[in-house]
């Protein structure tokens, strides 16, 4: 996998967004701005509530950029017209996937940076290593899940309703905009099954908001779940070619 080939493939992926610029605008700019406005309105000047909501904003923004858009891109790769376009490039299937991940990471820099800057402004002390750990865990969960969904469905039209449902589920099943500490034990137990809950806990701990749950367990649980997703992706890709690109 050459750097030059990967770079060209990433640029090619970014150029493809010219065809979907309204979609890109809504997902990467309008939706994060909407979240931020709602967060600022709900917090009503309470800095702790604002830090809680901003960690949720980072988690949901990661879903929009890394999961929703990446899964759509990968599923779209299997469409005949897109496949014909990629067939003109001397790239493998994995080079396409990695270039799509890089493209999404570049697109997600702005909304993520906005959330981090606001967090920095309202937090007296941020644990940088812990914050990086939380962001890394978020990336490590969303990315293989997006690849798994994309290569499983392989159709953008069929995938879109599934992603919308998953988005609604994550909003409900992840304490993105409220404290885990103050909810009932039964509901809390259900939320702790969700690995994204543990990502949120790590991010909140980084900005001084503690939810009364062992942080080491959250990190280990997230790593194990990410590893499971990676194993499932490799299993899904075993012994066969989805497209002619994989034969190269």
**Secondary element (H or E) of residue 232:** helix 215-236
- Residues 168-214 pLDDT 10s: 888 889 998 888 888 888 999 999 999 999 999 999 999 999 998 99
Please state the separation of Cα 238 from the chain's center in Å: 24
The pLDDT value given to residue 244: 44
Residues 35, 121: contact at Cβ < 8 Å? no
Backbone angles phi, psi at 201, to 5 degrees: -65, -40
pTM metric for this prediction: 0.85
């Amino acid at each position: 996998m050459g750097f030059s080939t990967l770079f060209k493939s990433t640029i090619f992926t970014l150029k493809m967004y010219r065809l979907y610029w309204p979609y890109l605008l809504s997902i990467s700019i309008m939706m994060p701005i909407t979240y931020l406005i709602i967060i600022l309105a709900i917090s009503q000047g309470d800095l702790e509530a604002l830090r809680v909501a901003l960690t949720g904003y980072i988690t949901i923004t990661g879903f929009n950029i890394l999961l929703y858009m990446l899964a759509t891109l990968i599923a779209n790769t299997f469409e005949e017209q897109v496949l014909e376009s990629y067939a003109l490039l001397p790239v493998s299937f994995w080079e396409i996937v990695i270039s799509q991940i890089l493209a999404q990471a570049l697109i997600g820099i702005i909304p993520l940076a906005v959330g981090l800057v606001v967090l920095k402004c309202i937090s007296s002390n941020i644990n940088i290593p812990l914050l990086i750990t939380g962001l890394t865990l978020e990336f490590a969960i969303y990315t293989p899940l997006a690849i798994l969904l994309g290569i499983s469905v392989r159709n953008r039209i069929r995938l879109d309703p599934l992603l919308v449902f998953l988005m609604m589920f994550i909003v409900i099943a992840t304490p993105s905009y409220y404290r885990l500490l103050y909810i009932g034990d039964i509901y809390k137990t259900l939320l702790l099954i969700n690995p994204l809950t543990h990502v949120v806990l790590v991010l909140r701990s980084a900005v001084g908001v503690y939810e009364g749950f062992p942080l080491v367990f959250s990190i280990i649980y997230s790593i194990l779940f990410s590893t499971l997703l990676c194993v499932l992706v490799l299993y899904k890709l075993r012994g066969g070619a989805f497209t002619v690109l994989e034969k190269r």
